[in-house]
Structure 1
Amino acid sequence: MLLGMIERGMQIDCILFCDTGIEFPAMYDHLDKLERNIGRSITRVHCEQSYEYLMFETPVKRKADTQFAQKFGHIHTGYGWAGPRMRWCTSKLKDGPRERFLRPLREQYEIIEYIGIAADERYRLKRRRNQAQNHVHPLVDWGMTEAACLQYCYDHGYTWDGLYEHFKRVSCWCCPLQSLSELRQLYMHYPKLWVMLKDWDSRTWRKFRADYSVKELEIRFNFENERLDKNLPIKGREFFDALKAQLEASTSENSNH
């Protein structure tokens, strides 16, 4: 979207990036490269507290009579992993810093925000925030799909060091809401990040996913590789029965130690 706006000579007063602190390293390299190529600086806003502080250290108290509190308790140190109904990372690391930056500007100017929603993501326009009158969606107006946008960026020399060869959508590298296929790619291609992910999972009060801890995911991915080497399927009842036995054996071994 930004490259297209520059090519069309559209007015751009500020290029805003909400830095969560947990983007893929290649994404930060991409932003540095972009700044050099277009000859403009990117305004980077971030939360006053780091992701790790919010996840592990900040005091959290919730209403004791909620279903969540009954399951996990109502007092915690740190927010723990985000979940489908508790995306604290979005509000704390993205929405909050963005609004703190824009609020004083709105007092002086009429702010028009350009949002990079692609033409085949029209469902996102139904969200209330994206319906604001001062939000413009150039990619939708230009009829550019996600695939067309990615190819356009590749044609202009932006590859993100292969991130989009591994992931359909690049989010924070440690996001527990990623699909199993994306987490498998993380395990296979980004071992240093995976080690950090496993360490973080061992330090927080909430399991990484409802179905798997990070360690259990590692067991599953290794088991899948072993079966693929033997030309055995990695889906179906027989596979999941065998996987369950593997996970139970690992739990039993750990308890014995």
Structure 2
Amino acid sequence: MNIVSFSGGKDSTAMLLMMLEKGIPIDRVICVDTTKEFPAMYEHIKKVQTMVEPLQIEIVKIDFDYWFGEHIKTKGKRKGEKGYGFPDFRNRWCTSLKREAVKKIQQTISEEFIQFHGIAFDEKERTLKNKDRNIQYPLVEWEITEKQALEYCYSKGLDWGGLYEKFHRVSCWCCPLSRIGELRVLYTDFPDLWKELQEMDKKSFRKFRSDYSVADLTKKFANGI
């Protein structure tokens, strides 16, 4: 069984469409939704779905808001307190939730399977940690770079509503690990999302970033800094 991990980003999108073009059998396509993707990303996923039919993209949702601010910690220094707050380099709990969601699906599969991950050729070092697992990286095998993957998607009429013209990576809009320049774009071009981020900042026990809170960034960007 061949299972494609599909995030909706340029690399996994290019991989999925190229696999179909090359006639590589695909049994399942799994997409984990944190519910914090850009609106244009959800439109993109719908568009890709129409392109790959009758193959179905299975969307697994994670309740981000629950884990962010409502879940009661059962152990550790914050036992009894609410929420994980914003993730950081040491605690990427959102990434762990994605992996757990996929793992649960895999545990229901009785036959042997191969996973296909969309990692580009110029990021092939990321594949080393999984070299002994049943994971294949078609873009690495075909020597498709990030730039080539994006250009391929553009050639298919996929443009994410211009997101890749504003952001280097298109992931959760509320990610604290985003570059400052990209957070500035979020502030200027997506005011509704920034307002939601400000509300999240009030609920998180952990500062948005080690160098800035969302309130700090709001003042910084408002002053044109």
Using structure 1 for the length normalisation, give the TM-score. Answer: 0.78
Unmatched 5+ stretches in structure 2? 1-14
Contact 1:54 1:78 in 2 (8 A): yes
Contact 1:45 1:101 in 2 (8 A): no
User: 2:86 is aligned with what amino acid?
Assistant: W
Question: Take 1:145 and 1:218, find their aligned partners in 2: how far apart are those partners?
Answer: 35
Match of 1:43? 58
Question: Take 2:203 and 2:84, find their aligned partners in 1: how far apart are those partners?
Answer: 12
Match of 1:151? 151
Higher helix share: 1
Match of 1:237? none
How does 1:183-222 map onto structure 2 within 5 Å? Answer: 183-222=183-222
How far apart are 1:196 and its partner, in Å?
0.2
The one of 13, 16, 20 equivalent to 1:6 is 20
Question: Using a 3 Å threshold, how does the CA distance of structure 1 residues 215 and 116 change in structure 2: closer, same or farther?
Answer: same
Match of 2:29? 15
Instruction: Name whichever of 203-212 and 191-200 sits farther off.
Output: 203-212
Match of 2:108? 104
Asked if residue 28 in structure 1 is aligned to residue 32 in structure 2, the reply is: no
The one of 125, 128, 139 equivalent to 2:127 is 125
Question: Take 2:128 and 2:182, find their aligned partners in 1: how far apart are those partners?
Answer: 26
Question: Take 2:105 and 2:75, find their aligned partners in 1: how far apart are those partners?
Answer: 28
Question: Take 2:132 and 2:25, find their aligned partners in 1: how far apart are those partners?
Answer: 19
Please identify the structure whose Cα radius of gyration is greater. 1
Question: Take 1:90 and 1:109, find their aligned partners in 2: how far apart are those partners?
Answer: 26
How far apart are 1:98 and its partner, in Å?
0.4
How far apart are 1:61 and its partner, in Å?
4.1
Contact 1:176 1:208 in 2 (8 A): yes
How does 1:51-130 map onto structure 2 within 5 Å? Answer: 51-64=64-77, 75-92=80-97, 94-105=98-109, 108-127=110-129, 130=130
Question: Take 1:171 and 1:12, find their aligned partners in 2: how far apart are those partners?
Answer: 24
- Count matched residues: 210
How far apart are 1:161 and its partner, in Å?
0.5
Using structure 2 for the length normalisation, give the TM-score. Answer: 0.89
Question: Take 2:74 and 2:206, find their aligned partners in 1: how far apart are those partners?
Answer: 15
Q: Greater RCO between the two (CA within 8 Å, min separation 6)?
A: 2
Question: Take 1:100 and 1:63, find their aligned partners in 2: how far apart are those partners?
Answer: 25
How far apart are 1:74 and its partner, in Å?
5.1
Question: Take 1:134 and 1:90, find their aligned partners in 2: how far apart are those partners?
Answer: 20
Unmatched 5+ stretches in structure 1? 65-72, 225-233, 235-257
- Structure 1 runs (4+) deviating above 4 angstroms are none
Question: Take 1:122 and 1:15, find their aligned partners in 2: how far apart are those partners?
Answer: 22
